[in-house]
């Protein structure tokens, strides 16, 4: 059974690393190894991810509410005879959620098709360290991204699919989901703020689906420890999300590459 201090530390780690581009799953593997947890606690991992999921919903609440209003208006227009193609081209909410659907499909296929293989990687700190170095290289590549000022209304369907594929691959511990998807969007020429927003909104169905697939009740679960982990992840996650969005807007995502290089190398050398 996980203790209160361990729950708090892992909650803070999840909150920091879920939205900062340094791989939350990778750091959970590292810290669980440091705490001597031989097997990953999947239910507790779900609780922590739920905390950060709540954080992103709250952070983008205005955009989400606006998109829901757009989709509602779009549904009425569709019923009145407007074509879906017209709505896709003119209605921001309809286009956004269509793109999210395009991105979610490959993520779901990868996540479900390779579920066992990805879960097996959670027991290998050395591989996690290597993947952190890969994340660093991905972040470093964003230095060469050209901002073409394209918002959601100018994201192409195949670009959403490509970002979804990257998100699916980022299930690998050590590969940052936020870092790799934002980097992919930036390298495609998408506007910085839009790249961050689309990445985090795309994570909503992916994380929700992963939580459902991974859910397994644990008889010895401590509700107090779980609550501590949940709120620590939620509060710290919200603060780090706000910080990362500001960094992305300034074009400084590559700053985090150096941390990934150092953390990855240290993990490979010192954590077994």
Q: Could you tell me the pLDDT band of residue 161, with boundaries at 50, 70 and 90? A: very high
pLDDT digits (tens, 9 = 90+) for 206-262: 888 877 776 666 555 678 888 999 999 999 999 999 999 999 999 999 999 999 999
* Buried residues in 237-267 as b, exposed as e (16+ CB within 10 A): bbebbeebbebbeeeebbebbebbbebbeeb
Q: What angle do CA 20, 24, 25 make, to 5 degrees?
A: 155
pLDDT of residue 220: 59
Q: Where are the domains of the chain?
A: 4-270
pTM, 2 dp: 0.87
pLDDT digits (tens, 9 = 90+) for 88-99: 999 999 999 999
pLDDT of residue 117: 74
């Amino acid at each position: 059974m996980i203790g209160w201090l361990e729950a708090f530390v892992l909650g803070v780690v999840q909150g920091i690393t879920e939205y900062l581009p340094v791989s939350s799953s990778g750091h959970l593997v590292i810290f669980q190894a440091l705490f001597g947890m031989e097997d990953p606690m999947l239910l507790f991992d779900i609780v922590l991810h739920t905390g950060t999921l709540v954080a992103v919903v709250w952070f983008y609440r205005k955009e989400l509410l606006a998109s829901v209003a757009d989709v509602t208006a779009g549904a009425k227009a569709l019923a009145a005879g407007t074509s879906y193609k017209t709505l896709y081209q003119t209605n921001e909410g309809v286009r956004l959620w269509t793109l999210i659907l395009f991105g979610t499909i490959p993520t779901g296929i990868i996540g479900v098709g390779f579920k066992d293989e990805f879960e097996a990687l959670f027991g290998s700190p050395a591989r996690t360290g290597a993947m952190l170095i890969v994340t660093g290289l991905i972040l470093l590549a964003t230095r060469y991204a050209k901002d073409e000022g394209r918002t959601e209304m100018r994201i192409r369907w195949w670009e959403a699919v490509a970002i979804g594929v990257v998100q699916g691959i980022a299930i690998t511990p050590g590969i940052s989901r936020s870092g790799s998807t934002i980097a992919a969007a930036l390298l495609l020429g998408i506007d910085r703020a839009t790249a961050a927003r689309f990445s985090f909104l795309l994570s909503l169905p992916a994380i929700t689906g992963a939580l459902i697939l991974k859910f397994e009740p644990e008889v010895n679960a401590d509700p107090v420890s779980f609550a501590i982990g949940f709120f620590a992840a939620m509060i710290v996650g919200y603060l780090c999300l706000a910080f990362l969005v500001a960094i992305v807007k300034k074009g400084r995502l590559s700053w985090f590459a150096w941390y990934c290089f150092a953390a990855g190398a240290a993990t490979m050398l010192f954590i077994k």
